[in-house]
């Protein structure tokens, strides 16, 4: 199945498919999501609107990407509907600079962290006072005031009203709107424990124990876990935030004349065609071309390449890179969302909303999780009250010993109803939909951010999973396995033209083409100061050759098949000569004038320095390697022999490359295609995974699934290893999340109580739930240590 090219921005834009010209994609900032259940609820709310084609929601980045029909609904209406259902939403502004967005996001994160810390401090203070009241159980002196049951009642009430207020309100709001989430479960558990203790306090004849300390401790553990989890999630976002903050806030505007004065202006006010001055050590604020000066530029944060690149007049420089050694003046060519930096950031953000197929199970479970847990808690309470405590008489004794904590002067016993209620509370509190919700997005966020730092742009969780399944890697030759910069070695006369005339005629024809071979021929002519002849009537057959009228004569230039199709006769002697040259890896371009074969132009395109090593490592990883090229069979076989590639498809037209990929897929293979992203665009789109070099081109970014910004083959290995490691983390996280809930919920429901006398109190259930989410996030962060960037 042919994959559609990825849209390169999360901002609203029309799709490129004419059949879907009325579809647009928009990004919404969505707040208030707490767990996987919230994600599922937001997606459901969006997709149930008429005109919405699809919706992808990311819990970590708090972004919803919606594809919709512009005639049926507007993004503003979608945002309003989400806000009414308890998820405050707004349209992401497309005219903001990335620096503005970075400042706003950073401020929001800091505000959220500060609020979490304040709530945690308040809960900790209340917890300390509550705990001091029980120190006499350890043989310490009794503190009358803090041992009084009414003081504990007050502390628990304050815990619910101050640090627990937002949690309880969100849980209640979600429940009333039919979208229960993790906060709903915690709120039900906390309020149930508080209410049971109030009954025990106000109706002492019931003989129940008061456990006001449990709501306090429960909220304390929950808030501690959320604070640590929030910090870990912010660490996971740190790599992307580094990219976002690369753009400096100001730029030096300079007049377009010598010795013009500069003035500093906000970078978002810079306009195309203006001139900017950049001093040594400063970040380049926008994309542009150098009009004065020369320097070296550190492009490491964009491409991962640690070696600075020399730049001079007419060279392109990109926003976010660092001017190292000289003063330069640049002419602005790209601002705001049109810079390479902005496109990379948008691509990475979009990648983080694309889900891996392996997450479908987690999403399905998350959609019903809260309902299921509430049902289990209800059944637990009914079972122990109606059956359990009557079937196993010793249970009450064990439970009383395990759970009771005398407070003040009250005599504590454990009634069947109270025990049943505590077990139900433990079930509500220990269940953790957050771990399920964080399992995939945290790993994808860390993995794609690591890739972006290394100059490897991976376009989403679905791409990661397909890379994990790869068994075949197909390479284009020119510009992929070779340098893509062929050079003319010699011109061989075959009739009445001399070598200089052959080169002059060929260069005249090729002056109308930008093909790498054409550029090599014209460059060679320029180097020898050979003037071009008057040429007209250019006609090109893509991947085959050209015809033109040179000095009044019809000239045909290209491969043997092309010349033969034009009626040119290639003798057996000349064919053998060409085959001999091709077997050594040379590229042969045939030249015919007025229907007569006049000569060969012999070119050579050397292999990339890392080609042999890359192919060898792929084969070591158990992947089949295939060469796919439009070159003659002899040339292709010569290259394949040097690289130890056994399967070769040669003399393939550009339009046929996608068909070759499709035939491999029909054999049951999962195929990656590696090319330059321009001539190979159809094959890149057809492949299960398209990997493009030459990452600076718009076509590459639009078509490929993975873009290698460094233009180095070794990054193919890095991208595969990173993808495999990320998918493994996703699977580990999902296994942990599912296994945790599958084990913890039965234990909390009292499964170990009859046989082993083991009972999990609500407090320890809260601690377990808080730690489960933290474990998932921390496990994802371990990718950073495995792929630590070399300095």
Active site residues: 476
* Closest to 602 (Cα-Cα) out of 592, 589, 593, 591: 589
Distance CA 558, CA 587 (A): 11
3-state secondary structure of 276: strand
Q: What DSSP character marks residue 283?
A: B
Are 268 and 104 in contact by the 8 Å Cβ rule? The answer is no
Q: Classify each residue of 557-568 as buried b or exposed e, where b means 16 or more C-beta atoms within 10 Å of its C-beta.
A: bbbbbbbeebeb
Residue 68 φ/ψ, nearest 5 degrees: -145, 160
Are 553 and 594 in contact by the 8 Å Cβ rule? The answer is yes
Alpha helices per DSSP H over 352-477: 360-383, 389-391, 394-403, 416-430, 433-453, 461-468
CA atoms within 13 A on the CB side of 770: 20
User: Per the structure block, which two tokens stand in for 469?
Assistant: 């399944």
Are 729 and 703 in contact by the 8 Å Cβ rule? The answer is no
Distance CA 566, CA 579 (A): 20
Name the one residue in this structure whose structure tokens are 């039965």: 746
Query: What H or E segment, with its residue span, contains residue 388?
Result: none
Are 759 and 211 in contact by the 8 Å Cβ rule? The answer is no
Are 671 and 664 in contact by the 8 Å Cβ rule? The answer is yes
3-state secondary structure of 773: helix
Are 599 and 495 in contact by the 8 Å Cβ rule? The answer is yes
Beta bridge partner(s), residue 25:
13, 67
- What is the β-pairing status of strands 671-675 and 689-692? parallel
């Amino acid at each position: 199945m042919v994959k559609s090219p990825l849209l390169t921005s999360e901002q609203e834009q029309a799709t490129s498919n004419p059949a879907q010209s009325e579809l647009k994609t928009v990004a919404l900032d969505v707040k208030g999501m707490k767990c996987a259940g919230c994600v599922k609820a937001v997606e459901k709310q969006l997709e149930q609107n008429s005109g919405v084609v699809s919706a992808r929601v990311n819990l970590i980045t708090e972004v919803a990407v919606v594809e919709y029909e512009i005639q049926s609904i507007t993004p503003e209406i979608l945002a309003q509907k989400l806000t009414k259902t308890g998820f405050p939403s707004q349209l992401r502004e497309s005219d903001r600079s990335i620096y503005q967005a970075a400042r706003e996001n950073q401020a929001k994160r800091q505000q959220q962290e500060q609020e979490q810390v304040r709530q945690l401090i308040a809960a900790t203070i209340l917890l300390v006072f509550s705990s001091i009241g029980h120190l006499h159980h350890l043989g310490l002196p009794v503190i009358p005031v803090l041992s009084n049951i009414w003081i504990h009642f007050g502390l628990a009430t304050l815990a619910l009203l101050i640090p627990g207020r937002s949690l309880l309100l969100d849980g209640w709001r979600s429940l009333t709107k039919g979208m229960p989430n993790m906060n709903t479960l915690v709120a039900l558990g906390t309020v149930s424990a508080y209410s049971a203790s109030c009954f025990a306090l106000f109706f002492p004849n019931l003989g129940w124990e008061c456990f006001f300390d449990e709501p306090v401790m429960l909220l304390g553990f929950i808030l501690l876990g959320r604070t640590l989890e929030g910090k870990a999630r912010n660490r996971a976002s740190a790599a992307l935030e580094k990219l976002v903050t690369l753009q400096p806030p100001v730029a030096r505007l300079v007049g377009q004349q010598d010795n013009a004065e500069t003035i500093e202006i906000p970078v978002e006010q810079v306009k195309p065609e203006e001139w900017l001055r950049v001093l040594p050590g400063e970040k380049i604020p926008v994309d542009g071309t150098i009009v004065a000066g020369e320097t070296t530029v550190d492009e490491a944060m964009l491409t991962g390449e640690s070696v600075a690149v020399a730049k001079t007049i007419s060279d392109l420089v990109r926003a976010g890179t660092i001017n190292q050694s000289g003063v330069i003046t640049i002419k602005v060519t790209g601002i705001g969302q049109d810079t390479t930096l902005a496109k990379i950031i948008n691509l990475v953000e979009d990648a983080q909303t694309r889900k891996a197929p392996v997450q479908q199970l987690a999403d399905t479970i998350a959609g019903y999780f809260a309902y299921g847990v509430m049902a289990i808690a209800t059944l637990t309470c009914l079972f122990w009250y109606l059956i359990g405590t009557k079937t196993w008489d010793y249970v009450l004794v064990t439970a009383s010993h395990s759970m009771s904590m005398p407070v003040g002067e009250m005599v504590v016993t454990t009634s069947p109803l109270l025990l049943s209620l505590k077990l139900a509370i433990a079930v509500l509190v220990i269940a953790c939909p957050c771990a399920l919700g964080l399992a995939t997005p945290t790993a994808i966020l860390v993995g794609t951010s690591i890739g972006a730092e290394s100059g490897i742009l991976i376009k989403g969780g679905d791409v990661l999973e397909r890379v994990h399944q790869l068994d075949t890697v197909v390479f284009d030759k020119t510009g992929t396995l070779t340098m893509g910069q062929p050079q003319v070695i010699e011109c061989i006369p075959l009739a009445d033209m001399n070598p200089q005339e052959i080169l002059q005629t060929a260069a005249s024809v090729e002056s109308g083409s930008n093909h790498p071979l054409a550029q090599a021929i014209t460059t060679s002519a320029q180097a020898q100061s050979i003037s071009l002849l008057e040429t007209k009537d250019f006609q090109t057959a893509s991947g085959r050759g050209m015809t033109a009228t040179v000095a009044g004569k019809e000239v045909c230039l290209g491969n043997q098949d092309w010349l033969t199709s034009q009626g040119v006769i290639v003798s057996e002697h000349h064919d053998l000569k060409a085959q001999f040259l091709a077997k050594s890896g040379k590229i042969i371009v045939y030249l015919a004038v007025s229907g007569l074969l006049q000569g060969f132009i012999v070119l050579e395109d050397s292999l990339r320095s890392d080609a042999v090593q890359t192919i060898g490592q792929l084969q070591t990883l158990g992947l089949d390697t295939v060469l796919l090229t439009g070159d003659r069979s002899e040339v292709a076989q010569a290259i394949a022999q040097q690289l130890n590639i056994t399967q070769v498809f040669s003399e393939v037209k550009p339009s046929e490359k996608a068909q070759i990929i499709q035939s491999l897929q029909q054999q049951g293979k999962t195929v990656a295609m590696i090319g330059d992203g321009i001539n190979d665009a159809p094959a890149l789109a057809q492949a299960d995974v398209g990997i493009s070099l030459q990452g600076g081109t718009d076509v590459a970014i639009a078509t490929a699934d993975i873009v290698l910004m460094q233009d180095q083959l070794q990054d193919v290995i890095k991208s595969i290893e990173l993808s495999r490691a990320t998918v493994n983390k996703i699977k580990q996280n999902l296994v942990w999340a599912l296994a945790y809930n599958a084990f913890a919920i039965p234990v909390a429901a009292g499964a170990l109580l009859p046989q082993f006398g083991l009972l999990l109190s609500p407090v320890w259930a809260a601690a377990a739930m808080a730690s489960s989410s933290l474990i998932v996030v921390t496990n994802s962060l371990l990718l950073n240590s495995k792929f630590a960037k070399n300095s």
